[in-house]
A and B are shown apart, each in its own frame.
Chain A
């Protein structure tokens, strides 16, 4: 890592995306350094998901000068996905709002799909996972605290457990970067807290870079030192999460601000930014 300090983990440069006649992303530029945990906030429709999907190369930007790099490797440029996208994808773990697990497969198989990108095709198509790969999957499941569900069908898990399985998938992937798209938007407060702590633990213990989009500012302030705020596809703020007082949010978002502030998040008074979790806290999660 030492010689790569100048290398951004994620670099987005002047990215544009238009859906019909609506600009979803408008000259977005952000840079995330390795080991950072950054929140992406904004009301629904502000471009958070769109931006994350562009970083993972799941969606193409408009033609133009827009460019996305991950760990110094081009993901897409000028509206074209890099031809060798599959080389960089194993480095990018994606956590979806709807978990995107295969419901009929056992949890452990879902987690093992994280290893597909590194396996030779004959082995992955035959479903032959090595013992080490299985062990890594069980380890990942124990880290997120649901090892006992390994052989259950994924569809039988609760939402919170499914999201933890999805994070375990990115752990098996060995991804250096986790992009989490509204990972807690469909979860209850208790599950939300656990999912956020698992992401924070991955960040603190493995040095995984985390970029997580959130609907509610409280979580951003609690778990992420830095926040990027989007509004109508534009970056309107990029700085310490601590500065995001309700008053400042109203300045940024006007009437939309209330949706971001009055979340279901358990409010801790007074909200203070927390730097990467201390080892005691992280250990409790793992």
Chain B
């Protein structure tokens, strides 16, 4: 007994500490290599500290005189997020099921997954710029941009939930003579529904944030306002709008987090 206890080394094996050192070396090396490319000039913050202070002072006090207008546009932003998310959920249900390993055969699954990868890879800003060209300036371009990007994200999350289900209830349904679609409706969906709802709410939160940004390329909502006043150097108004966005996003996050807890 005593022999075996003493045989346990008190420090981790050499190999592990060497590997850890190498790992840190790679991370720090990559950061150092990126220094020039990222144009890192931290001293600029101090050199131009005077300018920064003047610039920051311009933001105060916030100018809320046009708050009714901002509130209206903020509401449009929420509406863009709501429709973008709703359409994405509708799209992500079939695509999510079709990219799940335990539902779709490989020749369906792989193409669908790649398509969803593409939807995710393109940022909603880029989609928004394209849709502004296609359907014109305004909120609808924003809705379409959020719709495509979010479909890609939700389809992946939905399919992961489907892949984690218990196969036995599904087999129980199959054994009654039910068809494949009925197996999904009665065996799969009830198992994944809480997760799907939670993911969808989470994406709605994120889309409220994204919707403020897609507006900046002309896709409607508060983003357009923000873009206009920043370009016009109306910083007191900019700070008012930013405060309103922060409050809205915080409220939505809190409410949605509450709701999500209900479903899990």
- In the assembled complex, the Cα of A166 lies from the Cα of B186 at a distance in Å of 15
B44 to chain A minimum Cβ distance, whole angstroms, is 57
Q: Which of A58, A116, A124, A169 has the most C-beta atoms of chain B within 10 angstroms of its own C-beta?
A: A116
Whether, in the assembled complex, A98 has its beta carbon less than 8 Å from a beta carbon of chain B, the answer is yes
Beyond A96-B168, A103-B169, A121-B181, whether A173 also contacts B186 by CB under 8 A is no
Residue of B nearest to A118 (CB): B177
Whether, in the assembled complex, A100 has its beta carbon less than 8 Å from a beta carbon of chain B, the answer is yes
Beyond A116-B182, A124-B182, whether A102 also contacts B176 by CB under 8 A is no
Whether, in the assembled complex, A90 has its beta carbon less than 8 Å from a beta carbon of chain B, the answer is yes
Q: Which of A89, A93, A100, A173 has the most C-beta atoms of chain B within 10 angstroms of its own C-beta?
A: A100
Q: Is the CB of B169 within 8 A of A116?
A: no
B195 to chain A minimum Cβ distance, whole angstroms, is 11
- In the assembled complex, the Cα of A89 lies from the Cα of B175 at a distance in Å of 6
By DSSP majority rule, is chain B's interface helix, strand, loop, or mixed? helix
Whether, in the assembled complex, A114 has its beta carbon less than 8 Å from a beta carbon of chain B, the answer is yes
Beyond A96-B168, A96-B171, whether A113 also contacts B191 by CB under 8 A is no
Contact of B175 among A58, A104, A115, A125 (CB under 8 A): A58
Total count of chain B residues near the partner, CB < 8 A: 20
Query: CB within 8 Å of A: which of B141-177?
Result: 168-169, 171-177
Whether, in the assembled complex, A204 has its beta carbon less than 8 Å from a beta carbon of chain B, the answer is no
Whether, in the assembled complex, B190 has its beta carbon less than 8 Å from a beta carbon of chain A, the answer is yes
- In the assembled complex, the Cα of A186 lies from the Cα of B173 at a distance in Å of 20
Q: Is the CB of B182 within 8 A of A121?
A: yes
- In the assembled complex, the Cα of A127 lies from the Cα of B181 at a distance in Å of 12
Chain A residues with CB under 8 Å of B193's CB are 104
- In the assembled complex, the Cα of A166 lies from the Cα of B187 at a distance in Å of 14
Q: Is the CB of A56 within 8 A of B175?
A: yes
Q: Is the CB of A92 within 8 A of B175?
A: yes
Chain A 84-109, CB-CB to B under 8 Å as 1, else 0, gives 00111110111010111111110001
Whether, in the assembled complex, B118 has its beta carbon less than 8 Å from a beta carbon of chain A, the answer is no
Q: Is the CB of B172 within 8 A of A102?
A: yes
Q: Is the CB of A116 within 8 A of B191?
A: no
Chain B residues with CB under 8 Å of A56's CB are 175
- In the assembled complex, the Cα of A93 lies from the Cα of B178 at a distance in Å of 12
- In the assembled complex, the Cα of A191 lies from the Cα of B26 at a distance in Å of 61
B73 to chain A minimum Cβ distance, whole angstroms, is 40
Q: Is the CB of A100 within 8 A of B171?
A: yes
Chain A residues with CB under 8 Å of B174's CB are 58, 89
B28 to chain A minimum Cβ distance, whole angstroms, is 48
Chain A 46-62, CB-CB to B under 8 Å as 1, else 0, gives 00000000001010000
Q: Is the CB of A125 within 8 A of B182?
A: yes
Chain B residues with CB under 8 Å of A101's CB are 169, 172
Contact of B177 among A100, A103, A166, A173 (CB under 8 A): A173
Chain B residues with CB under 8 Å of A105's CB are 186, 190
Whether, in the assembled complex, A117 has its beta carbon less than 8 Å from a beta carbon of chain B, the answer is yes
A284 to chain B minimum Cβ distance, whole angstroms, is 28
Residue of B nearest to A90 (CB): B177
Q: Is the CB of A104 within 8 A of B177?
A: no
Query: CB within 8 Å of B: which of A185-234?
Result: none
Residue of B nearest to A114 (CB): B176
Chain B 11-32, CB-CB to A under 8 Å as 1, else 0, gives 0000000000000000000000
- In the assembled complex, the Cα of A232 lies from the Cα of B64 at a distance in Å of 82
- In the assembled complex, the Cα of A93 lies from the Cα of B185 at a distance in Å of 20
Whether, in the assembled complex, B179 has its beta carbon less than 8 Å from a beta carbon of chain A, the answer is yes
Q: Is the CB of B186 within 8 A of A117?
A: no
Chain B residues with CB under 8 Å of A94's CB are 172, 175-176
Q: Is the CB of A100 within 8 A of B182?
A: no
Q: Is the CB of B186 within 8 A of A113?
A: yes
- In the assembled complex, the Cα of A92 lies from the Cα of B178 at a distance in Å of 12
- In the assembled complex, the Cα of A117 lies from the Cα of B172 at a distance in Å of 12
Chain A residues with CB under 8 Å of B177's CB are 86-90, 92, 116-118, 173
A-B contact pairs, 8 of them (CB 8 A): A94-B176, A96-B168, A101-B169, A113-B176, A114-B176, A115-B176, A118-B177, A173-B176
Additional A-B contacts beyond A87-B177, A89-B174, A92-B175 (18; CB < 8 A):
A58-B174, A86-B177, A86-B179, A92-B177, A93-B175, A94-B176, A102-B187, A103-B169, A114-B176, A116-B177, A116-B178, A116-B179, A117-B177, A118-B177, A124-B178, A125-B181, A125-B185, A173-B176
